[in-house]
Amino acid sequence: MWVLIGIAALAFCGPIAPVEAEDRALPGRARLEADVFRLASPEFEGRSGDGARAAGDFLIDRLRGLGLEPAFDGRFDQEFAAGDLRGRNIAALLPGSDPDRSEVVILSAHYDHLGIRGGRLFPGADDNATAVAMVLEVARRLAGQAEPPTRGILFVFFDLEERGLLGSQHFVREPPLPRDRIGLFMTADMLGRSLAGVGGDSLFIMGTEHAPGLRPWIFEAAEGLPLSVGVVGADLLAIDRSDYGPFRQRSIPFLFFSTGESPAYHTPDDLPETIDYGKLSAATALIERVVRRACSADELPGWTPDREPWIEEAVAIREVLAMLLEHEEELEIPALQKSMMSGMVERIGGWVEEGSLTPPQRMSMLRVAQVVLFTVL
């Protein structure tokens, strides 16, 4: 799911406006690393049960220390129940300076994980301490600037994502502001490794199929960063795999960022010492730049119900399939799937040469990609 940034910029952006030098400074790698190690430590018990409660208190202390406003009627937390489960969302607001721009941008990550199972700690460093650290760092950088953003930002940490997106479902049912004021929802899940452990510097971004106007912002934000950015449709995953789901279902424009599932996903081996902190820092920088753009834009891109195919998605999927085929022995790709992947790489090459992608072509491409996701990876 890589996109050649230069091609995409020409296709969607035209000349790229220069980004301010202040925005180009990479976020603090040391702070990101310290937060991932802390969140993945035994202190927070894999962020489940009492450990999740302690992690929530830690997040509240950090948000309060940044001088942010509590989001829930004077509170930083939103308690909720789902059957026998009890959860707690955490959120804080950085108000905007322009009352005429009433929409709010949400930047979020889920902070829960699998806990302790069979006496073994599931630390959840990549899933999802990396994204929590990203949100904390972006909040720190934006709250510390001399001038407030033009449009307000809500920083949110969801609970019980691992139990079926329960925290984000509750939040979108009972938001702390009118739902129609949510102009853009952004969330991230796993930012510190790579797809199947062989994806290199890839960062995948979903959601622009319903808000194509966001693509130029992404490609501009990626300029100069050591990332291969792949902008693809969320329907590639067939089902909603993270907290963008409840917002997507309500036609709220969204972006979902991830470096993909690695072999350590949902295992006790998801350890903080094996995270690629350089990559996490670069992903944090990209996301921060998109947030800044959204907060300063005269208008936010609205929801588009129809998904028009875009050729850069085909380029991205072709690159991923080719990359996986290069590691076929390591990944033990079965012969049938290998044949499907090779054939699709060839077909996509023809579509790219033609410079267009039809809806039936896109659907056939997605079917092969989904088979690969659910059988090879």
- How far apart CA 31 and CA 35 sit, in angstroms, is 6
How far apart CA 1 and CA 231 sit, in angstroms, is 7
CB 173 within 8 A of CB 96: no
pLDDT in tens, 27-46: 789 999 999 999 999 999 99
pLDDT interval class at 26 (50, 70, 90) = low
Residues 257, 188: contact at Cβ < 8 Å? Answer: yes
Q: What's the whole-number mean pLDDT along residues 138-158?
A: 96
pLDDT at 8 over 60: no
- Which amino acid, 8? A
**Architecture label for domain 5-296:** 3-Layer(aba) Sandwich (3.40)
What local confidence, expressed as pLDDT, does residue 303 receive?
97
pLDDT at 28: 84
Given a cut of 80, is residue 213 above it in pLDDT?
A: yes
Where does 327-372 have alpha helices with state H?
328-331, 335-354, 359-371
Lowest-confidence range among 30-34, 351-355, 373-377? 373-377
Model confidence band, residue 238 (pLDDT cutoffs 50, 70, 90) = confident
pLDDT reported for residue 46: 98
Range with lowest mean pLDDT among 13-22, 282-291, 316-325: 13-22
130's tokens = 């990396």
- Whether the pLDDT of residue 16 is over 70: the answer is no
For residues 342-359, average pLDDT: 96
Whole-structure pTM value: 0.92
**Neighbour-count burial for 261-278, b at 16+ CB within 10 Å, e otherwise:** bbebbeebebbbeebbbe
> Would you say the C-alpha torsion 29, 31, 34, 37 has a positive or negative sign?
negative
Measured distance CA(304)–CA(248) in Å, rounded:
11
Q: Cis peptide leading into 89, omega within 30 of 0? A: no
Average pLDDT rounded to a whole number, residues 197-223: 95
Over 80: is that where the pLDDT of 12 sits? no
- Least confident range of 11-15, 217-221, 273-277: 11-15
In the predicted model, is pLDDT for residue 2 greater than 50?
Answer: no
Q: Is the pLDDT of residue 3 over 50?
A: no
- Binned at pLDDT 50, 70 and 90, residue 69 comes out as very high
- The C-alpha atoms of residue 112 and residue 189 are separated, in whole angstroms, by 11
In this prediction, residue 22 carries a pLDDT of 43
Q: How many CB atoms lie within 10 A of CB 198?
A: 16
CA angle 81, 108, 296 (to 5 degrees): 140
- Determine contact, residues 340/248, Cβ cutoff 8 Å: no
Asked if 59 and 304 touch (Cβ cutoff 8 Å), the reply is no
- Other beta carbons less than 10 A from residue 201's beta carbon: 17
Q: How far apart are CA 94 and CA 143, in angstroms?
A: 7
Predicted pLDDT at 7: 32
Residue 260 · residue 204 · CB < 8 Å: yes
Tell me what the mean pLDDT of segment 279-306 comes to.
97
Rg (CA), the chain: 20
pLDDT, tens digit, for every residue of 103-126?
999 999 999 999 999 999 999 999
Give φ, ψ of 231 to 5 degrees: -100, 110
Select the more confidently predicted residue: 253 or 26: 253
